[in-house]
Amino acid sequence: MSIDIAHLLQAHHNPPDNLLPWLTHQASLTDKLQALSGDAELVVLKQYWTAPNWWDKHTLGISEKPILHREILMSSHQIPCWYARTIVPEHTYQASHRFFNRLTQESLGVIIFNEPRIKRVQLVNYQITSQCIEYHWLNPFLVLKKEEQFWARLSIFNTDVMFNFYLIEILLPGLMRVSA
């Protein structure tokens, strides 16, 4: 299953040049943040099983119930740098439960990039404005200015070539302040 990019692109804009290396980075963003700023702090905001929401169904094509949502906020020197949501269908979780159980002690990035069974099969980036549903995921956790625009990285990963899970990372304005 590939990402339906047409649902994501309301208007095509090119990302700012200083953000492009973050949007296209193939390895761990956490490691990159740590190397550039000297600090990376992950806070798990929520982790829960739920039915697929509209976005899960129409963007990712997930119809299976239930799915795991794990939401985190990554900061550096107490400045929020990105919000991320991991979406794991139940059959993927069951097929690799030992892998996903590690999320209680480790970040997803540490697990993904040190596990040879995990492969990224697609990475897309797109702009997020206040008209996008993803923008409103941030409201409970951050104070947003309506004119702010964000960029997202959406990845499909698979385990053992057959079980997909998804990661969306919404890069926040603070990222450029701490990594400059």
Structure confidence at residue 131 (pLDDT)? 86
pLDDT at position 10, please? Answer: 53
Give residue-wise pLDDT tens across range 125-136: 999 988 889 999
Please give the pLDDT value at position 108: 87
Q: Count up the domains in the chain and report the number.
A: 1
**The pair of three-digit structure tokens given for residue 117, joined into one six-digit string:** 């069974």
Which amino acid does the sequence have at 23? L
By C-alpha distance, which of 42, 55, 174 is closest to 109? 42
Q: Name which residue leads in pLDDT, 123 or 149.
A: 123
- The Cα–Cα gap between 118 and 130 comes to 33
Q: Residue 6: pLDDT band by 50, 70, 90 thresholds? A: low
Chain-centroid distance, C-alpha 161: 20
pTM over 0.85: yes
Indicate the burial class of 159 (C-beta count within 10 angstroms; 0-12, 13-18, 19 or more).
Answer: buried
pLDDT, tens only, 105-144? 788 888 888 888 899 999 999 999 888 899 999 987 887 7
Residue 16 has pLDDT above 60, yes or no: yes
Mean pLDDT in residue range 159-170 = 91
Measured CA to CA, the distance from residue 154 to residue 72 in angstroms comes to 15
Q: Residues 55, 73, 93, 48: is their CA dihedral positive or negative?
A: negative
**Residue ranges making up the domain that contains 101:** 5-179
Largest Cα–Cα separation, the chain: 42
What CATH number corresponds to the domain at position 44? 3.40.1410.10
Q: In 99-142, which ranges are E strands?
A: 118-128
